[in-house]
């Protein structure tokens, strides 16, 4: 179906946005939303103007990760149009379907409702000038991806995977979707998440729980860079639950890992 995706002209819909980056994974639960949120915050820390759109209509998790799940965005009138004002946190502008619907109801939506809601969050929102617009996409290759590809001139894709074989196989499908001749979105690179685990009492040991060098090999095979390797760290999980993602703390090793990721992306 992606062969029928007619690519939009750059700059048509969001002329004030310089770069649109889709963060994708094949498999769910590999840390794609964690990477999206931390990449967005890290880019803002580097001084860029950043927007983040949670396009996971059926399982929006980003408002909770940023500690803004209770927010209800309001609308402003601008040049005769009603525009949704993104929520601001840690220097980034954020919209998520999670702000507008009860997630349990959203899962009952038909595909068409989801895609039209998504289009509204893109076109009818006051995103303003952005250097980077980060799209946290749902797992897999879905209608939502097709809508994004047809609606936005995506500059590049960042693919998140763990080193586990099943995750890598799904990541490869995601890469193939973006590389498809008609779609032709450059792969900016891979992020290996949950790359290893180091227990506090054995600081020099690395345990490769999901396998070793899986993403390095996939990056080589696909001819794209390995942008970062993020270990399994308990605080990444806890900070996500607490609404204070790792990248807000640049004095920690994990915070710095996300700053380095952002530097590799720009
Ligand atoms: P996805 O968006 O791919 O479904 P999430 O970003 O929601 O995945 O991550 C899944 C779970 O794993 C979350 O509970 C998150 O806090 C946790 N997590 C993600 N990356 C790491 C990591 N590097 N170390 C520890 N926990 C992580």
CA angle 259, 18, 66 (to 5 degrees): 45
Ligand 1 atom closest to Cα of 254?
23
What pLDDT score was predicted for residue 7?
63
Q: What is the pLDDT of residues 213-249, one digit of tens each?
A: 999 999 999 999 999 999 999 999 999 999 999 999 9
Confidence check: pLDDT of 5 > 60: no
> For a pLDDT cut of 90, what percent of the chain falls above it?
74
H helix runs in 141-213, sequence order:
143-151, 165-179
What pLDDT score was predicted for residue 112?
82
Please say whether the beta carbons of 133 and 20 come within 8 A: yes
Q: What is the ipTM of this complex?
A: 0.99
Q: What is the pLDDT of residues 116-172, one digit of tens each?
A: 889 999 999 999 999 999 999 988 878 889 889 999 999 999 999 999 999 999 999
31 annotated as belonging to a binding site for a ligand? yes
Per-domain residue ranges for the chain? Answer: 16-265
Ligand 1 atom closest to Cα of 34?
6
The torsion angles phi and psi of 131, rounded to 5 degrees, stand at -80, -40
51 annotated as belonging to a binding site for a ligand? no
Measured CA to CA, the distance from residue 36 to residue 20 in angstroms comes to: 12
For the chain, how far is it from start to end, CA to CA, in angstroms? 31
Instruction: Provide the whole-model pTM.
Output: 0.94
Kindly indicate the confidence band of residue 1, based on its pLDDT and cuts at 50, 70 and 90: very low
C-beta atoms surrounding 59 within 10 Å: 15
Q: What letter would DSSP give residue 25?
A: -
What pLDDT score was predicted for residue 102?
74
> For a pLDDT cut of 70, what percent of the chain falls above it?
94
34 alpha carbon to ligand 1 midpoint, in Å? 6
List ligand 1's pocket residues with C-beta within 6 A: 25, 28-34, 61, 193-194, 230, 232-233, 236-237, 240
Q: What is the pLDDT of residues 98-111, one digit of tens each?
A: 898 776 666 677 77
What pLDDT score was predicted for residue 13?
84
What pLDDT score was predicted for residue 23?
97
Ligand 1 atom closest to Cα of 136?
2
3 alpha carbon to ligand 1 midpoint, in Å? 32
Query: What is the domain class of 16-265 according to CATH?
Result: alpha beta
182 alpha carbon to ligand 1 midpoint, in Å? 32
- CB under 8 Å, gap of 24 or more: what pairs does 75-82 form? 76/126, 78/126, 81/124, 82/124
What pLDDT score was predicted for residue 181?
82
């Amino acid at each position: 179906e992606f062969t029928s995706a007619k690519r939009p002209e750059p700059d048509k819909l969001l002329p004030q946005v310089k770069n649109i980056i889709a963060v994708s994974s094949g498999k769910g639960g590999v840390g794609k939303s964690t990477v999206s949120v931390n990449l967005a915050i890290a880019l803002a820390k580097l001084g860029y103007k950043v927007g983040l759109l949670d396009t996971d209509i059926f399982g929006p998790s980003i408002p909770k990760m940023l500690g803004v799940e209770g927010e209800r965005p309001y609308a402003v009138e601008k040049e005769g149009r009603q525009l949704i004002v993104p929520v601001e946190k840690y220097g980034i502008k954020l919209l998520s379907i999670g702000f507008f619907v009860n997630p349990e109801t959203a899962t009952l939506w038909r595909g068409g409702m989801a895609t039209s809601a998504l289009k509204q969050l893109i076109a009818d929102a006051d995103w303003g000038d952005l250097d980077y617009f980060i799209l946290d996409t749902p797992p897999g290759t879905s209608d939502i991806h097709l809508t994004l590809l047809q609606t936005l001139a995506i500059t590049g894709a960042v693919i998140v995977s763990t080193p586990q074989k099943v995750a890598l196989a799904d990541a490869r499908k995601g890469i193939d979707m973006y590389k498809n001749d008609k779609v032709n979105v450059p792969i900016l690179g891979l992020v290996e998440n949950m790359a290893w685990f180091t227990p506090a009492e054995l600081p020099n040991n690395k345990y490769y729980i999901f396998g070793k060098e899986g993403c390095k090999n996939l990056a080589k095979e696909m001819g794209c860079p390995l942008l970062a390797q993020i270990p399994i760290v308990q605080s990444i999980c806890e900070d996500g639950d607490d609404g204070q993602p790792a990248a807000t703390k640049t004095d920690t090793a994990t915070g710095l890992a996300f700053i380095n990721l952002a530097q590799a992306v720009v």
